[in-house]
Chain A
Amino acid sequence: MELNVLWFILVGVLFTGFFFLEGFDYGVGMVLPFLGRNDVERRVIINTIGPVWDGNEVWMITAGGAMFAAFPHVYATMFSGFYLALFLMLLALIVRGVAFEFRSKDDSPVWRNTWDWMIFIGSFVPALLWGVAVTNLIQGLPINEKMIYTGNFFTLLSPYTLVGGLAFLLVFLFHGALFLTLKVEGEMIERARAVALKGGALAAVAFLACVGLTYTNTDLFKSALGGTALWAAVAAFVAGYAFTWLKKYGWGFAMSGLAILFTTAGFFAGLFPRLMVSSLNPAWSLTIHNASSTPYTLKIMTMVALTLVPIVLAYQIWTYWVFRKRVTAKHLEY
């Protein structure tokens, strides 16, 4: 396989891993202030993702790094183009990261409540912005012949991309609530289920609207693979909702995960071989060829990535195994 194609797939895999994993921990962060009625409950909720959220976030860092290494022009165009949006995301991620560390280190209720809301904001904002970003990528951006983004922050906001943002946000919320049904105990499971059902209903609306607008606003469905994957995502989502209703939480979580996986795969398949679509002139789009590194660099990176990604997966799975038990209020580390 041509290495440019392989790296397109690898970047796609990294983003899929990121959305799948960080998807639920953003979701958990978003429901935290509502589902956790007292400090113990909030600590239980935070501890469900406590050992893993940082490792999940590294999927995003690695996706960014991989894009820099394999498709430097995409990295340059996207990051300078999404400037203020990325800034907002960075602020959110900064407060989120320290909030996990800081919140239980002081007894004051004001202190803890403040950081809990920081976790909420830090999860809400990136989830929304990633949806806006992904739909912008597929819809097309004003990119000129020099690969430079010529719009501004508000160019990124359109009905379609805002719906995309909401869809990501709510699907992550659903995914996160389902994760909680697997990780908490007793009566909290029921409450997590209620959130999953309510949030899931909203997510269904936003997600279907997003798929519909993707059909009208983009050329994604011209790709058979992209179209199929998106419909598969819708099917998986519906199945996930049904399983939640039936209290089959393991299946429900697997399905919400599949919905995220298929959505990401669908968007990447629809983009291929482009990485950023120019709305000004199709010829100015950034593709796996005109935006890539040299074959030499791709070869080196391929050797490293193909060796390391399986190892990373192995020890991250092991971590989830170590922390497989439900988090109980009787045993709180943090």
Chain B
Amino acid sequence: MDEVLLARWQFGITSVYHFLFVPLTLGLSIVVAIMETMYVRTNNEVYKKMAKFWGKLFLLNFSMGVVTGIVQEFHFGMNWSEYSRFMGDIFGAPLAMEALTAFFLESTFMGLWIFGWDRLSKRLHAACIWIVAFASNLSAFWILAANSFMQHPVGYAIRNGRAEMTDFLALITNPYVAFQFPHTVLSGVVTAGIFVLAISAYHLLRGTHLEVFRKSFKFGLVWSIVGVFAVMGSGHLQTQYVAKVQPMKLAATEALWESADPAPFAIAAVIDEKKQINTFELAVPGALTFLAHDSFKGEVKGIKELQAAAVAQHGPGNYVPDVTALFWSFRAMVGAGMLMAAVTLLCGWLLIRNKLESYPLALKAMLLTLPLPYIANSSGWFVTEAGRQPWMVIGLQKVAQAASPNVTAAEIWITMIGFTLIYGILAIAAVYLAVKFIKQGPVDSKPDIPAATVKGATLWN
């Protein structure tokens, strides 16, 4: 493999791994904040138990997100130094602002929250987790604003052989981020909701800690149903916008080789990328046009036409991303979303009729949905990033021009294997702890220091 491909793999592995933890942090921080606020408002100890139990899992997830996030910030310079030179004037600013506005807040107030149960007033302590939740979601905004530039460059000029910022306001009001940010945050909401539901379902099935998990389940259900439909809506709007500004990404995601008016939506297809044809298609006529334009009339441009246009504009080259992978990733995301909607609605219906706990199958189904948000999050990002190929920054810089010229294949192999190994070991340790905490439930863990020296309430015991 050449350096560029290796660097892409490394970025893919570390980014997907990092993003396993990010959405849960985004959503669960808010969930814990709400639970603690309910405790402050009502003085009901059950809410405190809930905040602490979910908070414990949140922290585990949070720490994994933090440590894998450091790699992300260093990556651009390490593997993509030409990108950093070309884009630094624009891309560096949101990254620095992310650190200044969000990371400091997040890390400082997280520390206060973890160690401050007895040192801060109840209200101030709850405020700390709200600040963490705010900062986490703010950091998502900055990094998405940076990513949005790569998808849809705005507010810049090409001067001195690089992209230079001419309008900061345009950068942060990029319509692309206006669509991408809500979709990402809402996917975090859903991830947290399904996480709470699946684990609550586990305890409801076992009949353990019913008070805490009945409340958690109800909360998670409302949260998830609202979230899952909002994430679908925001995703739909985002795709409509992508259809406008990244027609190639849309065409590749839909495996639409020929321009069509109206264009069909393929539910499944056998794709032959070499011959540029789908040898088999299960399609709904006109549906793609409707999805893209809210009307049954209107053209959706096909891959072949867009490729020809790209060649005319940017010179010879292959401008078609990996169609098969995009096609199926998108369907994995949508399919996972629909399954989550179905299971949460089913459980909601049973809950309203007060029959939930007499249908263990429904609870088992809920438990089994746990991987779905992760599948949806990863495949969604895959569509976004792989759909940008061969461009690093659409229209401005290709991936092949962006890699570090002085980093050798051997060096990338070393780091890729190293990161993969360490990430694998950490995954085992984190899952071990998570499973242990989940099974334990919201119990006071045994004090592991001599009882005589324990005085007053402490955090986890």
Contact = CB atoms under 8 A, between A and B. Distances in A.
A230 B403 CA distance: 38
Residues of B in contact with A, size category: 35 or more
Interface residues of A, number: 73
B339 to A, nearest CB: 32
Which of B71, B93, B426, B454 is packed against the most chain A CB atoms within 10 Å? B93
B74 A64 contact: yes
Interface stretch (B96-104, B249-257, B292-300, B327-335): B96-104
B6 to A, nearest CB: 13
B59 interface: yes
Nearest to B88: A72
Given A72-B92, A80-B407, A323-B119, A65 B98 contact: yes
Which of B88, B108, B112, B168 is packed against the most chain A CB atoms within 10 Å? B88
Interface in A44-59: 47, 50-55, 57-58
Interface stretch (A127-135, A240-248, A293-301): A293-301
Nearest to B64: A98
Interface in A64-89: 64-70, 72-73, 75-81, 83-84, 86-87
Nearest to A66: B96
A6 interface: no
A68 B120 contact: no
B96 A65 contact: yes
B68 interface: yes
A106 B433 contact: yes
Given A61-B73, A80-B404, A293-B89, A323 B115 contact: yes
Contact of B88 (A102, A293, A329): A293
B422 A91 contact: yes
A312 B104 contact: yes
Interface string A295-327: 011001100110011001001100100110000
Given A76-B81, A98-B429, A312-B100, A319 B111 contact: yes
B459 A333 contact: yes
A40 B168 CA distance: 51
A62 interface: yes
Interface of A: 39-40, 43, 47, 50-55, 57-58, 61-62, 64-70, 72-73, 75-81, 83-84, 86-87, 90-91, 93-95, 97-98, 100-102, 105-107, 147-150, 293-294, 296-297, 300-301, 304-305, 308-309, 312, 315-316, 319, 322-323, 329-334
A57 B70 CA distance: 10
A97 B433 CA distance: 16
A331 to B, nearest CB: 6
A331 B456 contact: yes
B114 interface: yes
A309 B99 CA distance: 11
Contacts of B59: 101
Interface string B390-424: 00000000000000111100010011001100100
Nearest first, the 9 closest Cβ-Cβ pairs linking A and B are A72-B88, A79-B77, A69-B92, A68-B92, A51-B111, A65-B96, A101-B63, A76-B81, A97-B67
Contacts of B92: 65, 67-70, 72, 75, 293, 297
B276 to A, nearest CB: 38
Nearest to A95: B422
B88 A73 contact: yes
A322 B103 contact: no
Contacts of B68: 94
Nearest to B71: A90
A309 to B, nearest CB: 7
Given A72-B92, A149-B406, A330-B454, 14 more contacts: A54-B110, A58-B104, A66-B99, A68-B84, A68-B88, A72-B84, A75-B76, A76-B81, A77-B81, A80-B77, A80-B81, A322-B119, A332-B449, A333-B115
